[in-house]
């Protein structure tokens, strides 16, 4: 079984400030981890993913996340927020290749990021 | 990245009628497509997994006779909401997976309103 918890349903930052969105996961198998962004009334866009290898992954738009197995975390960060970053962000987990949960994404509850001028 | 389309983007239907939503992968072959629903201010919930040429696999609690899924080709999957009721009103999103370097590509979603 898999689950994802995103701490904080709303995060507000000032433009230029650090963005930190928290994600903790639970998985009975080695996880694949993802961050997606959703703008109003639109589908999801992949920001970044961790499957295997380097635990610090870089994504689009300056975002990055670090897989910490000991903490079962995959927090999303960006050094300097832009107004265009305002959106809803979802963390997701799936099982790795060969497992029964491979390909099935379980999403967190989402975090709405607000960026103030 | 790859492009996935959904049609229609919005639909309003009367209670008791059926609605079909199409999900197409435009520039790649999708061996697997997934259907999700998203209630307002909530996360995405996986409804079913659809593999080309075989029956869909439904998640626990999802009525397969109500949400009919067909994946007749490697570029098209359809979701039909049969005998729709107001509680079926939701945002339905599909995703497509080509099976290669692991990544699901999401469609833009379909807003269904049942009156």
Of the listed ranges A9-23, A59-73, B4-18, B98-112, the least confidently predicted one is B98-112
Q: What percent of chain A has pLDDT over 70?
A: 94
Partner-chain residue, chosen from A42, A103, A109, that has the shortest CB–CB distance to B109: A42
Nearest Cα of chain B lies from the Cα of A70 at a distance, in angstroms, of: 24
Q: Is A49 in Cβ contact with B102 (below 8 Å)?
A: yes
pLDDT for residue B103 is more than 80: no
Of the listed ranges B19-23, B41-45, B105-109, the least confidently predicted one is B41-45
* pLDDT score at B31: 85
Write the CB contacts of A104 (distance below 8 Å, at least 6 apart in sequence): A94, A95, B34, B46, B49
Q: Is B49 in Cβ contact with A106 (below 8 Å)?
A: no
Model confidence at B47, pLDDT cuts 50, 70, 90, reads very high
Chain B CB contacts of A90 below 8 Å? 43-44
* pLDDT score at B8: 97
Range picked from A4-13, A44-53, B28-37 for highest mean pLDDT: A4-13
B interface test, pick of A9, A46, A103 with most B CB neighbours within 10 Å: A103
Write the CB contacts of A40 (distance below 8 Å, at least 6 apart in sequence): none
Q: Which long-range contacts (CB under 8 A, 24 or more apart) does B29-32 make?
A: B29/B74, B29/B75, B29/B98, B30/B4, B30/B74, B30/B75, B30/B77, B30/B96, B30/B97, B30/B98, B31/B74, B31/B97, B31/B98, B31/B99, B32/A103, B32/B96, B32/B97, B32/B99
- For residue A85, the SS3 value is helix
**A42 or B110: whose pLDDT is higher?**
B110
Q: Is B103 in Cβ contact with A46 (below 8 Å)?
A: yes
Query: CA-CA distance, B103 to A49, in Å (whole number)?
Result: 8
Beta-strand ranges (E) seen in chain A are 2-7, 10-14, 19-27, 31-38, 44-50, 56-58, 64-68, 73-78, 87-95, 106-107, 111-116
């Amino acid at each position: 079984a898999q689950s994802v918890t995103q701490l904080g349903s709303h995060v507000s930052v000032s433009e230029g400030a650090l963005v930190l969105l928290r994600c903790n996961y639970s998985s009975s198998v080695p996880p694949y981890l993802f961050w997606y962004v959703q703008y109003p009334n639109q589908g999801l866009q992949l920001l970044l993913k961790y499957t295997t290898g380097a635990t610090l992954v870089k994504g689009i738009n300056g975002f990055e996340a670090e897989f910490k197995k000991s903490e079962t975390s995959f927090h999303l960060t960006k050094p300097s927020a832009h107004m265009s970053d305002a959106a809803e962000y979802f963390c997701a987990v799936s099982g790795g290749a060969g497992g029964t949960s491979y390909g099935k994404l379980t999403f967190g509850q989402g975090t709405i990021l607000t960026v103030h001028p | 990245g790859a492009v996935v389309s959904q049609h229609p983007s919005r639909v309003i239907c009367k209670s008791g009628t059926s609605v079909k939503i199409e999900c197409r992968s435009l520039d790649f072959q999708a061996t697997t497509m997934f259907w999700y629903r998203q209630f307002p201010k909530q996360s995405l919930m996986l409804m079913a997994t659809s593999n080309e040429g075989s029956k869909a696999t439904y998640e626990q609690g999802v009525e397969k006779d109500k949400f009919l899924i067909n994946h007749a080709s490697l570029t098209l999957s359809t979701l039909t909401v049969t005998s729709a009721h107001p509680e079926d009103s939701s945002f339905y999103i599909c995703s497509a997976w080509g099976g290669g370097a692991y990544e699901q590509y999401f469609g833009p979603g379909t807003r269904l309103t049942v009156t």
